[in-house]
């Protein structure tokens, strides 16, 4: 068990990431979705900071729960959270009949 990935720990870290990063992004998107490109509100900076803090916090939570393999579990938590977000984007674009290219998904995955 020492050299194995604990999926429960990675899942807890992913939940922390999603719990911190998603609410500010959703609230700001609802308030500022009408912003003109190039003239966006500075509130989007809050969402970007929330995403950075979320991944750091989720990584810390996962790493502290498995101190023998903190980096592996932190990375697994980040990947799990990003996969959930990508699946959400795919489903949302499918429901809204918007096209989603593999390139855009790859770029989105690299951001997270």
Q: How far is CA 103 from CA 61, 79, 99, 106, 108, in A?
A: 31, 18, 11, 5, 9
Give 35's pLDDT tier (boundaries 50, 70, 90). Answer: confident
SS3 content of the chain, % helix, strand, coil (to 5): 75, 0, 25
Mean residue pLDDT of the chain comes to 87
pTM of the prediction? 0.82
Give 78's pLDDT tier (boundaries 50, 70, 90). Answer: very high
Q: How far apart are CA 46 and CA 26, in angstroms?
A: 12
Angle 7-32/43-65 helices, nearest 10 degrees?
170
pLDDT at 111: 62
Angle 70-95/7-32 helices, nearest 10 degrees?
40
Of 109 and 79, which is predicted with more confidence?
Answer: 79
Q: How far apart are CA 38 and CA 41, in angstroms?
A: 9
């Amino acid at each position: 068990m020492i050299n194995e990935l604990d999926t429960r720990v990675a899942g807890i870290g992913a939940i922390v990431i999603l719990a911190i990063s998603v609410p500010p992004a959703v609230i700001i998107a609802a308030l500022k979705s009408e912003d003109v490109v190039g003239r966006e509100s500075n509130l989007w900076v809050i969402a970007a900071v929330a995403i950075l803090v979320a991944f750091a916090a989720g990584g810390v939570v996962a790493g502290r729960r498995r101190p023998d393999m903190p980096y592996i579990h932190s990375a697994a938590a980040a990947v799990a959270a990003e996969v959930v977000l990508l699946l959400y984007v795919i489903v949302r674009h499918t429901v809204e009949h918007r096209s989603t290219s593999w390139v855009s998904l790859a770029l989105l995955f690299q951001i997270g």
